Amino acid sequence: MIREIEAKTMLSHRKEPDSWFGVKYNMNIYRGCQHQCIYCDSRSECYQIEDFNDVLVKVNAIPLLRRELASKRIKGTIGFGSMSDPYTQIERKYQLTRQALEVIAEMRYPVHMLTKSDLVLRDLDLLKQINEVFAIVSFTLTTADDDLAAILEPHAPLPSARLRAMQTLVENGIPCGVMLMPILPFIEDTPENITGIIEATHQHGGSYILPSMGLSLRDRQREYYFEKLDEHYPGLSDKYRQAYGESYQNVPPNIRALEEHLTSLCRQYHIPLRVPRYTPPAQPQQMALF
């Protein structure tokens, strides 16, 4: 179900840009996410999204954003996509992500877009404009295998479509990279899967990878994930219960070997394991009076 709501605020902020994504201001135009990845952490109770199948549309997002940005004293990177993908199917109708980018371009703020969708290409013109200040696009890839992704991320565009979008963005001067997270234990935790992601990133012009292999599971998100495992991989949820019990962090048993493999391949392809940062222009020095 799609519901329109009025938001009270649009931007959450941090004192310093966060160490992973380089983001100072975070915003989510939608609540709930139509991509419906079976492992999505946003289903957890702490985020208070009653039904993750519903999508709430913040219809007053654009005037709110304009007002909030006008009152900011510090220019910092605005992050899209932490709790809900900014480019799900509903964005085709509402175009709120596009309108937000128009405001950001006009007010000359830097952005970091995080998505699983090639719909981001629709906004190439705005991203180019914003990139006069700073713009990067990160695509999440937990596998480069389209068939596997169709099970794990059922309504998101396939990895091959994400990678083609990445290549087009890179050819147009927008730096892109990959969020390699999470890696699902007993499904995606093979050296071949990691190799597939890194080689595909390299082949499509990605210039960074941020890995985090552990899968976090808690409360109703765990229940949903196990339901989906039972549908697609009978017996696997029991293997999780035996291996991890009620743990929040579910790390692949071979994580060390996988991390070593990833580090060595990224070194071979000269891909840094860090997201590029926006650097504010240096302030002109004040002239001394005497």
> Applying CB under 6 A, does 42 fall inside the site for ligand SF4?
yes
Q: Identify the bridge partners of residue 13 per DSSP, sorted by sequence position.
A: 25
Beta strands 249-250 and 215-216 are antiparallel
Q: Is 92 exposed, middle or buried (0-12, 13-18, 19+ CB in 10 A)?
A: exposed
How many other CB atoms are there within 10 angstroms of residue 155's CB atom? Answer: 14
> Applying CB under 6 A, does 222 fall inside the site for ligand SF4?
no
d(CA 173, CA 128): 7
Nearer to ligand SF4, 85 or 189 (CB): 85
Binder among 10, 23, 27, 37 for ligand SF4 (CB under 6 A) = 37
Nearer to ligand SF4, 40 or 262 (CB): 40
Nearer to ligand SF4, 23 or 33 (CB): 33
d(CA 141, CA 211): 10
Binder among 27, 29, 33, 90 for ligand SF4 (CB under 6 A) = 33
Nearer to ligand SF4, 138 or 201 (CB): 138
Number of residues that bind ligand SF4 (CB under 6 A): 11
Nearer to ligand SF4, 53 or 172 (CB): 53
DSSP 274: S
Considering only residues 184 to 203 of the shown chain, the ones binding ligand SF4 according to CB under 6 A are: none
Nearer to ligand SF4, 18 or 128 (CB): 18
Structure tokens of 25? 């201001």
Considering only residues 89 to 148 of the shown chain, the ones binding ligand SF4 according to CB under 6 A are: 116
Closest CA to 136 of 110, 106, 158, 160: 110
* Burial state string for 108-127 with b = 16 or more CB within 10 A and e = fewer than 16: ebbbbbbbbbbbbbbbbebb
Nearer to ligand SF4, 33 or 141 (CB): 33
CB 250 within 8 A of CB 48: no
> Applying CB under 6 A, does 35 fall inside the site for ligand SF4?
yes
Q: Is 267 exposed, middle or buried (0-12, 13-18, 19+ CB in 10 A)?
A: exposed
> Applying CB under 6 A, does 216 fall inside the site for ligand SF4?
no
Least gap, CB of 222 to ligand SF4 (angstroms): 15
Least gap, CB of 32 to ligand SF4 (angstroms): 9
> Applying CB under 6 A, does 156 fall inside the site for ligand SF4?
yes
The 52-91 contact track toward ligand SF4, x by CB under 6 A, reads: --------------------------------xx------
What 3-state DSSP class applies to 140?
A: strand
For 204, phi and psi rounded to 5 degrees? -105, 15
Which of 30-38, 166-174, 222-230, 255-263 is the region at the interface with ligand SF4 (rule: CB under 6 A)?
Answer: 30-38
Nearer to ligand SF4, 26 or 84 (CB): 84
CB 40 within 8 A of CB 128: no
Binder among 40, 130, 258, 275 for ligand SF4 (CB under 6 A) = 40
Q: Which residues bind ligand SF4 (CB under 6 A)?
A: 33, 35-37, 40, 42, 84-85, 116, 153, 156
